[in-house]
Amino acid sequence: MTLWDLTQGTSATVSAFAASIEAGYRTRLSELGFHPGESISCVMAPSLGAPKLYRVNNTVYSLDDSIASMIEVA
């Protein structure tokens, strides 16, 4: 399951990054809080495939399917 599969109001823990994700971006995502072991909740999942809103601690980020589907969650 990936972060993109989370529905509004659900949470999951990051387990890994897809191998195809660029190293620089993996570091950045980690710095933003998306790193293995961190609990992420999907606070908004607008319809029509718009980017979803994910909460990490006290900050909310918007991620589109291209990146959210590269973050594996459990």
Partner 1 sequence: MSTPSTPPSQPASLPRSNVALIGSPNSGKSLLFNRLTGLNQKVANFPGITVDISAGKSLIDNSTEYLDFPGVYSLHTISGEEKLAVEAFYKAMDADHLDAVICVVDATRLEKGLIFALQVVEACRRYNKPLLIAANMTDVLEQHKMQLDTQGLADALKVPVLPISGKTGFGLENIPSAIASAKAPTEAYGIAGDIIASDDSLIHRQAQQLANKYGPKGDLLINAQTKLDSFFLHSWFGGLSFFVIMYLLFQSIFTWAAPVMDGVETIIQVTADFVLARVPEGMASDFIADALFGGIGAFLVFVPQIFVLTLVVGMLEDSGYLARAAVICHKPLRVFGLTGKSFIPMLSSVACAIPGIYAARTVDSPRKRWLTYLAIPLMPCSARLPVYTLLIAAFIPAQKALGGLIGWQGLAMFGIYVFGIVCALLVTAVVSRSNAELRSDLPFVLEMPPYRLPSWRPLLRNAWNRSKHFVTKAGKIIFIVTVVIWFLGYFPNQGASLGDSWLGTMGQWIEPVFAPFGLDWKYGVAILTSFLAREVFVGTLGTLFGIEGAEENFVSLSQQIQDSGLPIGSGVALLVFFAIALQCVSTLAVLAKETGSWRLPTQLFISYSIFAYVAAFLTFHLVEFLV
In the set 7, 20, 31, 74, which binds partner 1 (CB under 8 A)? 31
Q: Are 49 and 4 in contact (CB under 8 A)?
A: no
Window 34-73: residues binding partner 1 (CB under 8 A): 35-38, 43-44, 46-51, 53, 55, 57-64, 66-67, 70
Which string of x and - marks every residue 2-21 that binds partner 1 (by CB under 8 A)?
--------------------
Record the tokens describing residue 51, joined without a space: 């980017």
Q: Please state the closest distance from residue 6 (CB atom) to partner 1, in A.
A: 15
> What is the DSSP secondary structure assignment for residue 56, as one 8-state letter?
E
Q: Which is nearer to partner 1, 1 or 28 (CB)?
A: 28
Angle subtended at Cα 48 by Cα 44 and Cα 40, rounded to the nearest 5 degrees: 25
> What is the DSSP secondary structure assignment for residue 10, as one 8-state letter?
-
